[in-house]
Amino acid sequence: VQLQASGGGSVQPGGSLRLSCVASGFNLDFSSLGWFRQAPGKEREGVASIRSSNGVAMYADSVKGRFTISRDNAKNTIYLHMNSLKPEDTAAYYCAATRRPYRGGYALLLADEYDYWGQGTLVTVSS
């Protein structure tokens, strides 16, 4: 399994970006997929997740109302639509996938729940 993230770049505050993550390989039957980010000197944090069974999404409080996670099953791709970007959104963004069953609550925003990771794509928000 390989996850390939793309779409990062530099944008001014208030701007938008769309990140993509394409899964390839065998057995892509994941139970959930997610986006995480890591800023310099900080721990990796969960941003958004989406469950494959019902499409239910979950978001970190810091991005609610601004970010949207979506998926295109035909293309084995998930997206992270980021609007109203702020300087504090600056980070390397990673996509991740898991086959583990959902444990409830905000488990899907925890990095330990995921077994497959893509490389990071850098998002810089600055004026």
Q: What is the mean pLDDT of the chain?
A: 95
Name the 3-class secondary structure at 66.
coil
Q: Rounded distance, CA 23 to CA 3, Å?
A: 5
DSSP 31: S
Taking 90 as the threshold, does the pLDDT of residue 66 lie above it?
yes
Q: Could you identify the residue written with the tokens 């996850």?
A: 3
Residue 10 in this model has a pLDDT that exceeds 90: yes
CB 23 within 8 A of CB 30: yes
Q: Which of 35, 49, 27, 30 is nearest to 7 (CA)?
A: 35
pLDDT band for position 65 (cuts 50, 70, 90)? very high
Residue 86: its pLDDT value, please? 98
Tens of pLDDT, residue by residue over 52-61, are: 989 999 999 9
Q: At 69, is the secondary structure helix, strand, or coil? A: strand
Query: What is the C-alpha to C-alpha distance for residues 107 and 116, in angstroms, rounded to an integer?
Result: 16
Spatial distance between the Cα atoms of 94 and 102, rounded to a whole number of angstroms: 20
- In this prediction, residues 11-20 reach a mean pLDDT of 98
pLDDT band, very low/low/confident/very high, at 26 (cuts 50, 70, 90): confident
